[in-house]
Structure 1
């Protein structure tokens, strides 16, 4: 969904800005420090060294304050050098509860990597072909006879993004607990003419992934959530990742804050129903699972070498240094995806040249000077840790 910083009131901005620094308003917040090491030695047995760790701590703190981020978690693992896991800020602005690195978060568009992996497993089995038209599986798609599954996964279908329809935005924000079916979500986009001919240009659109989810269900004969659970999550040994049926949310999780409201004021979106995002953005995970998923996606651990090669054949997005493949982003060497949903943002990427993994999780999606806070933090962290490979996820910003 597109956001506008003009909707934020001064009061709302000040509210969030004050949360990064310690405050005497609540005992937990008073004891909190801007940066706190995560105690989970299993995820980070060896640090990156005092000098680099200190620079990353300062970077994380500076970005957090400037971007008005309530709380964030960063995990960086570099083979042969060590790792860096930090949580900072608060998980709950009311109580001052510190952000915890073992939290579950809504991962938004990172769901796309799971959906497309599921589709590509069906490709490997010969049950679908990437160059099949979507009309073979789903009726009623504008110019569906000309749009292929490949073009949907590449974000080159030309279909209007349903999340940009004014009626959809109003209906979602009027009742964030509402359940949307895939057909209902798509209907908002199908009211509009296609924005371009199939394959002509890159346009990030959730409509594409909703359709791919419907293809998976039709071909497999199983609900998408079940298919992903059994064929993707179990196979990748991801025990802390799920596709929710409604607004369920495992503990522990931080409260999520958004300004995507009808009034433009900041609201708690923790329990909003993510059904509208479905195959494009409904899933939940944590730091441990996202760390392992990053490498799995980038190296094709669940796919044949032939199919993974097709997945990584990326095309220009119009953003320098950034290309997009089959449900996957490449940006200055990093491979993976980012995610944004009201209240939460994430980045999960892998850098093959350094055998490095970066995961960023935070409990806000409120833009900072027109940019997503997760992009700002990931960009700053990589500028310090991998200066020749600086992350930029602007191409997939809603």
Structure 2
């Protein structure tokens, strides 16, 4: 496998855009065929210097209906952004612009701060580290009902305020730093 991959990588610069797309499509289809437990795979390659803008999808969009995944359909990227946000945050820590142990109160806008304080969150206790480690005690706004709402209104652009308000409706603040509770609200 390693030799095939190496050979493929060495030959890629010699291929036309159409040939590259064919190679990528074959690799994606092969990967999907090996992992049938995957719902679907969607790939987009953007390389302006090489004049490449290519998308491909295989699999299903909905397990229940079996509707095919389409390359142009929107997808929720949600958790895929967390590593980038964490890396950017840690870069700010490296640059001395923020601290992991810094309370989040002064990092939030006045409106956001007021929303959390109205719901009895102590923003002087919640730190950047708590947010990154999902131990902030902030209730998440995501549950099955949220996904139903998103599916009912696929073109609705959810605001930060709507998500925070929903979070406040989900329950009371939990103890800070005591329990891991994965949630989009932390990011």
| 1:197 Cα offset (Å) | 0.7
The answer as to 2:176 corresponding to 1:198 is yes
Q: Is the 8 A contact 1:130 1:150 kept in 2?
A: yes
Q: Do the aligned partners of residues 128 and 91 (structure 1) sit closer, same or farther apart at CA in structure 2, a change above 3 Å counting?
A: same
The answer as to 2:117 corresponding to 1:176 is no
Matched with 2:85 is 115
Inter-partner Cα distance in structure 2 for 1:125 and 1:88: 39
Q: Is the 8 A contact 1:165 1:188 kept in 2?
A: no
Matched with 2:33 is 61
Inter-partner Cα distance in structure 2 for 1:96 and 1:198: 40
| 1:71 Cα offset (Å) | 4.9
Q: Do the aligned partners of residues 43 and 197 (structure 1) sit closer, same or farther apart at CA in structure 2, a change above 3 Å counting?
A: farther
Inter-partner Cα distance in structure 2 for 1:108 and 1:43: 34
The answer as to 2:106 corresponding to 1:136 is yes
Q: TM-score, normalised by structure 2?
A: 0.57
Matched with 1:148 is 127
Which protein, 1 or 2, shows the higher relative CO under an 8 Å CA cutoff with sep ≥ 6? 1
| Larger helix fraction of residues | 2
Look up the SS of the partner of 1:130 in the other structure. coil
Q: Do the aligned partners of residues 158 and 63 (structure 1) sit closer, same or farther apart at CA in structure 2, a change above 3 Å counting?
A: same
Look up the SS of the partner of 2:142 in the other structure. helix
| 1:188 Cα offset (Å) | 0.6
Inter-partner Cα distance in structure 2 for 1:69 and 1:115: 26
Inter-partner Cα distance in structure 1 for 2:156 and 2:140: 19
The answer as to 2:11 corresponding to 1:41 is no
Look up the SS of the partner of 1:42 in the other structure. helix
1:358-373 aligned at under 5 Å gives the runs none
Inter-partner Cα distance in structure 1 for 2:95 and 2:83: 18
Q: Do the aligned partners of residues 186 and 91 (structure 1) sit closer, same or farther apart at CA in structure 2, a change above 3 Å counting?
A: same
Inter-partner Cα distance in structure 1 for 2:182 and 2:76: 20
Look up the SS of the partner of 1:41 in the other structure. helix
RMSD of aligned residue pairs (Cα, Å): 4.1
Matched with 2:186 is 208
| 1:157 Cα offset (Å) | 0.8
Q: Do the aligned partners of residues 206 and 60 (structure 1) sit closer, same or farther apart at CA in structure 2, a change above 3 Å counting?
A: same
Q: Is the 8 A contact 1:165 1:189 kept in 2?
A: no
Q: Deviation per CA, 1:110-157, whole angstroms, max 9, x where unpaired?
A: 210111111111111211111111112221322222111101000111
1:301-380 aligned at under 5 Å gives the runs none
Inter-partner Cα distance in structure 2 for 1:178 and 1:199: 33
Structure 1 regions of 5+ residues with no counterpart?
1-36, 46-56, 74-86, 100-104, 210-398
Q: TM-score, normalised by structure 1?
A: 0.29
Q: Is the 8 A contact 2:32 2:59 kept in 1?
A: no
Look up the SS of the partner of 1:117 in the other structure. helix
Matched with 1:269 is none
Q: Do the aligned partners of residues 44 and 180 (structure 1) sit closer, same or farther apart at CA in structure 2, a change above 3 Å counting?
A: farther
Inter-partner Cα distance in structure 2 for 1:185 and 1:96: 27
| Larger strand fraction of residues | 1
